[in-house]
A and B are shown apart, each in its own frame.
Chain A
Amino acid sequence: GAGVSQSPSNKVTEKGKDVELRCDPISGHTALYWYRQSLGQGLEFLIYFQGNSAPDKSGLPSDRFSAERTGGSVSTLTIQRTQQEDSAVYLCASSPELTGELFFGEGSRLTVL
């Protein structure tokens, strides 16, 4: 498909385990965003990439969270030593330019037991 693809769609893990979430943006899109949405809450910004660089990481909740993007394409969001409060839907979006329309993936639902 031509849309933003995220995997896994659902992940259940035990507290303390590490998880890795993947985002495949639309080909050619230079800007990539991660954010999360807890149950019944609004969307919370995490990080954005312009190409492979991440000018703003201020939304990452703690140093257990990290993200990288290689080749200006795929991005991974890693959460180390997961906690129950990390449970949320993690959404990725990409855009062909910094001020353009954002295309969202369906999200990765993370449940930490």
Chain B
Amino acid sequence: DAKTTQPNSMESNEEEPVHLPCNHSTISGTDYIHWYRQLPSQGPEYVIHGLTSNVNNRMASLAIAEDRKSSTLILHRATLRDAAVYYCILILTEADNQGGKLIFGQGTELSVKP
């Protein structure tokens, strides 16, 4: 099964950029890379997703390595409300005969210091 690996925890200072890494060395060509975050006592919240090209939205940017074996979620200016567990997820597609199965990394707990 495809897996993702992430650091257990990271720290950031408020107003500074944060780069959250994820390794997915066994990714298949048609797997999408999704990032979610989870605040305490809440369900996960979608952040961003991509396939091959870098992606930007109002919440974050996603940088995908050329070989797709790793990606980095970039929060441009961390705020206290960004403190959460960030999950890097591969959405396996029908092409792998495993369509739709969610494979979660262990998540990175991001703490933001004022």
User: Which residues of A does B touch, CB under 8 Å?
Assistant: 31, 33, 35, 42-45, 48, 50, 55-56, 58-59, 91, 93, 98-99, 101-107
How many A-B contacts at CB < 8 Å in the complex? 60
- 24 sampled A-B residue pairs with Cβ under 8 A: A42-B85, A42-B87, A42-B107, A43-B44, A43-B104, A44-B104, A45-B102, A45-B104, A48-B101, A50-B100, A55-B100, A56-B101, A93-B44, A98-B94, A98-B99, A101-B46, A101-B49, A102-B34, A102-B44, A104-B45, A105-B43, A106-B42, A106-B43, A107-B43
Chain B residues with a Cβ closer than 8 Å to the other chain, count: 24
Interface residue B91 (Cβ < 8 Å from any Cβ of A): yes
Report the separation of the CA atoms of residues A48 and B93 in the bound assembly, to the nearest whole angstrom.
Answer: 12
Q: A55-B100, A56-B99 are in contact. List 10 more A-B contacts (CB 8 A).
A: A42-B85, A42-B87, A43-B102, A43-B104, A44-B104, A48-B100, A58-B101, A93-B43, A99-B91, A101-B49
Interface residue B26 (Cβ < 8 Å from any Cβ of A): no
Report the separation of the CA atoms of residues A97 and B32 in the bound assembly, to the nearest whole angstrom.
Answer: 12
Report the separation of the CA atoms of residues A58 and B107 in the bound assembly, to the nearest whole angstrom.
Answer: 22
Asked if A104 and B102 sit within 8 Å, CB to CB, the answer is no
Contact with A99, one of B36, B87, B93, B106 (Cβ below 8 angstroms): B93
Asked if A33 and B100 sit within 8 Å, CB to CB, the answer is yes
